[in-house]
Structure 1
Amino acid sequence: MGGDRLAPFDSGLLDLADPYPVYRRYRERDPVHAVRSSDTDADRDRDHDGDGDGAGGTGATTWYLFRYAEVARVLAGRAYRRRSPATGRAAPIPEGYETLRRVVENWLVFLDPPRHTVLRARVNPPLASAAVAGLRPAVREIAEELAAPLAGRAAVDVVRGFAAPFPLLVIARVLGVEGRLWPWFRERALALQEAGGTRGDRTGAGLARADRAAGELERYFTAALTARRDADGEPRDLMGALAAAGREDPSLTPGLLASTCVHLLTAGHETTTGLLGKAVLALLTRPGTVAELRAEPGLVAGAVDEFLRFDPPVQMVTRWAWRETELAGRRIRRGDRLVAVIGSAHRDPACFPDPDVLDIRRATGRHCAFGLGIHYCAGAALARLEAETGLAVLLERLPLLRPDARPLVEVEYAPDWVFHGPSRLVLRDRGQAAGNEPTPPPVIPPMGIQRRSA
């Protein structure tokens, strides 16, 4: 991507750990950047946010948006939707994986009005700020019980031992599924990710695993929703609320509601997993910030927003133009695909002064890590609570994260720009032998975080 002329943007050539220098180059030189179907086969066939050019198959221009102004306009604008106007599809799932396509295309994030409006009205109340506030003691308990066995270890995989199971156990509690099944859910969530269009390693075998996982999760949630639909009394959890909604509104079909649960369980924990892993990575090179947060725990909430801005767990999302528009003097045709590069928008100096500096006291209310407009993340309040609580507990309980710890760090990323973050993050005491692996977390979490029997 060097030289005088910018090459067609290709996300497959980015450094997974640090794409920001390349983002800056495009943001400064070609902020609304066109990649036409003849420019590059590689990135044309990739999808960003699970709904890319593979879904449309129209040969339309793909526009990469690198500045905050254009990213915000597209995310909030009604002229840009989740599905291709040419095909009506959202997810680029090849033929032969019909279960996977059916489940994913019914996810709330891929729906447009009026179906999105109807379903969103049912999902919002249990995930609203007031409802989530009541979960704070339970969320804290989950975090503390997961962190406790990590405190005495000389080597810890932060992702496997904490960042992955923690939000999964929280959303499991909100939905009303059994916490002891979290390893089963995690395995299937990871299988679904193998079908992601941004994956540089997507294969037929991975798509087959994703299709099987989609079917298993669909069957699980269909059975659970059926049991709740037939139950008496007021709903006790989010699945109960969705089952009641299905009784009242025939448009909320069992398949749509089961897919909604799959979406909330999988995407609802992966973004927080990425956020926590990236926050820990950022803190490891900033012992002064660690000391500041430990001395003033009240700063953690604001710090979460700054981590979301500085290195968001969702780097790119896609929209489709449903009518002709103009962005920064460029003509956007109906049917064109637009990729909002959120990671670049969050480093735009026109919106965030000194954007490459992590400043936990920064006012970051303008970030778009949770989206904008009608697709603003329904679980934003829950994600904030998880991130604030998880980060606070790690700062308090994990010796390897103390300002003077200076652990050895081993980090690996999955090749994914939607669920972006470390897939493995091992912190190792410098006195430990390099060959020893961190002890894996228990398969069944402590009894204190099990859901009460119905």
Structure 2
Amino acid sequence: MSGRTAGARAGAGSPEPFDPARLDLADPYPVYRRYRETDPVHAVRNPDGGAGPTTWYLFGHVEVTQVLTGRSFGRASPLTARTTPVPDGYVTLRRVVENWLVFLDPPRHTRLRARVTPPLGAAAVAALRPRVREIAEELVAPLARRPVVEFVEGFAAPYPLLVIGGLLGVEAERWPWFRAQALALQQAGGTRGDRTPDALAGAERAAEELDGYFHRELAARRTEDRGDLLSALARAGAEDPSLSGTELAATCTHLLTAGHETTTGLLGKAVLALIARPEVRGELRDDPGLLPGAVDEFLRFDPPVQMVTRWAHRDTELAGRTVRRGDRLQLVLGSAHRDPARFPDPDVLDIHRDGGRHCAFGLGVHYCAGAALARAEAEIGLGVLLDRLPALGPGARPGVEVEYAPDWVFHGPSRLTLS
């Protein structure tokens, strides 16, 4: 019997892998490797003695992609129809989050995604690239003159917010307010290590603020088409009565918050990787044509979303384990990306890597609608940073102070100080 199979059997029902006392937020990969080698489909039984659904943690690339692309799995529990980790009592928060595209299953997902995808597609993003570069250059200019740079607040957070805000058609001067609301919503995440009643109450207030704002903006666009994404969504609601105002406003909140938070994490972790690898900085500076491939390698090497959830809609088998209808599956993307069965030398950052398919944008029907925009933002942003930010310049050895938010979904530095 192989060690992998034996470990899988022995590990059934063992403790929660994402215990903060056991897992380093900044470097969870050694723990992932142990699970991947001994217990790649890891069961955490219901705490009431084994009755009820089991939560499974999937660490291998084969199993993760099987669930992401399989028709036996969905975003809603078939037993409760629950899709989000929002507890009872937070009415607006739950209503907003339950209508996010990422939590919907077909046919609602299909109908809404068809309206969101064209403004975020390759042609639209290509037209947007000059403006994205302008935003990056405007943000880097003052940072290049400072001896100490707080990278998250100075660049990684405002940059994608200003891009998606411009695409939606919201006022650029509102970005600090949007950032505050996005951070408040993030506190409600079910994998947060610091989720408290006060944090949930703050997330509820943020949901109310954003929901009200986007309802008002969509109403304004029904009589004044401004050529932005908000106008396109308002038009979609007028053309298709099955698209409710609740869905459309929630979609705007989702695009603004989730879309910017993932790019913020990607940029922060990419900069950390580049600071530690002067030779990679030099290659990318000398040949910017390598940046698109490098972005994909950053996404594989240390993805900004470490874990996503699915529910089993029917009994199925994964790596010899029986998963029952109604069980929850936590797909550990960060582990799947380090699986040597799919990626040779997976712990090496290799911007010339060829082959292998990462899951950073998901797979199947839930493949990220904003993937083209996220790639463009990262490619352009990193190119400007390599050219203009002294901390990434030739021979630079900046001091680094970094803190990570206690979050396994939106994973990345919450503070990154370069000096």
Shorter-normalised TM range: over 0.9
- Equivalent-residue separation in structure 2 for 1:78 and 1:363 (angstroms): 29
- Equivalent-residue separation in structure 1 for 2:47 and 2:77 (angstroms): 19
Give runs of aligned pairs for residues 42-191 of structure 1, distance below 5 A: 59-191=52-184
Aligned counterpart for 1:368 among listed residues 356, 359, 370: 359
**One-letter amino acid of the structure 2 residue matched with residue 196 of structure 1:** G
Deviation at 1:163, TM superposition (A): 0.4
Tell me the equivalent position of 2:15: 8
Q: Does residue 1:308 correspond to 2:317, yes or no?
A: no
Aligned counterpart for 1:209 among listed residues 202, 208, 211: 202
Aligned counterpart for 1:30 among listed residues 35, 39, 59: 39
**One-letter amino acid of the structure 1 residue matched with residue 16 of structure 2:** F
Give runs of aligned pairs for residues 220-369 of structure 1, distance below 5 A: 220-231=213-224, 236-363=227-354, 366-369=357-360
**One-letter amino acid of the structure 1 residue matched with residue 28 of structure 2:** P
**Cα RMSD after superposing both structures:** 1.5
* Structure 2 residue matching 1:135: 3-state secondary structure: helix
Deviation at 1:377, TM superposition (A): 0.1
CA offset digits 1:142-190 (Å, max 9, x no partner): 0000000000111001111000000000000111111110000000000
Tell me the equivalent position of 2:188: 195
- Equivalent-residue separation in structure 2 for 1:204 and 1:38 (angstroms): 22
* Structure 1 residue matching 2:86: 3-state secondary structure: coil
**One-letter amino acid of the structure 2 residue matched with residue 380 of structure 1:** A
Tell me the equivalent position of 1:409: 400
**One-letter amino acid of the structure 2 residue matched with residue 37 of structure 1:** N
Q: Which runs of 4+ in 1 moved over 4 A?
A: 4-7
Tell me the equivalent position of 1:435: none
Contact 2:343 2:356 in 1 (8 A): no
Tell me the equivalent position of 1:20: 29
* Structure 2 residue matching 1:134: 3-state secondary structure: helix
CA offset digits 1:226-284 (Å, max 9, x no partner): 010122x5x60111110000001111111110000000000010000000000001111
* Structure 2 residue matching 1:11: 3-state secondary structure: coil
**One-letter amino acid of the structure 1 residue matched with residue 29 of structure 2:** Y
* Structure 1 residue matching 2:19: 3-state secondary structure: helix
- Equivalent-residue separation in structure 1 for 2:48 and 2:27 (angstroms): 24
- Equivalent-residue separation in structure 1 for 2:256 and 2:356 (angstroms): 26
- Equivalent-residue separation in structure 2 for 1:366 and 1:344 (angstroms): 13
Q: How many residues align?
A: 407
- Equivalent-residue separation in structure 2 for 1:364 and 1:107 (angstroms): 32
Deviation at 1:365, TM superposition (A): 5.3
* Structure 1 residue matching 2:338: 3-state secondary structure: coil
Q: TM-score, normalised by structure 2?
A: 0.95
CA offset digits 1:93-141 (Å, max 9, x no partner): 1222101000000000000011101000000110111111100100000
Tell me the equivalent position of 2:368: 377
**One-letter amino acid of the structure 2 residue matched with residue 239 of structure 1:** L
CA offset digits 1:381-403 (Å, max 9, x no partner): 00000000111111000011124
Deviation at 1:59, TM superposition (A): 3.2
Contact 1:8 1:39 in 2 (8 A): no
Contact 1:305 1:364 in 2 (8 A): no
- Equivalent-residue separation in structure 2 for 1:375 and 1:39 (angstroms): 33
Contact 2:45 2:53 in 1 (8 A): yes
Q: TM-score, normalised by structure 1?
A: 0.88
Q: Percent identity?
A: 72
Deviation at 1:10, TM superposition (A): 2.6
Deviation at 1:12, TM superposition (A): 2.6
Deviation at 1:8, TM superposition (A): 2.2
- Equivalent-residue separation in structure 2 for 1:280 and 1:311 (angstroms): 11
Q: Does residue 1:396 correspond to 2:391, yes or no?
A: no
Deviation at 1:329, TM superposition (A): 1.0
* Structure 2 residue matching 1:15: 3-state secondary structure: coil
CA separation of 1:111/1:371 partners in 2, compared to 1, >3 Å: closer, same or farther? same
Contact 1:288 1:403 in 2 (8 A): no
**One-letter amino acid of the structure 1 residue matched with residue 409 of structure 2:** V
CA separation of 1:192/1:341 partners in 2, compared to 1, >3 Å: closer, same or farther? same
For structure 2, the residue ranges without an aligned partner over 5 or more in a row are 1-6
Contact 2:143 2:154 in 1 (8 A): yes
- Equivalent-residue separation in structure 2 for 1:389 and 1:360 (angstroms): 16
* Structure 1 residue matching 2:326: 3-state secondary structure: coil
- Equivalent-residue separation in structure 1 for 2:277 and 2:304 (angstroms): 19
Deviation at 1:9, TM superposition (A): 3.4
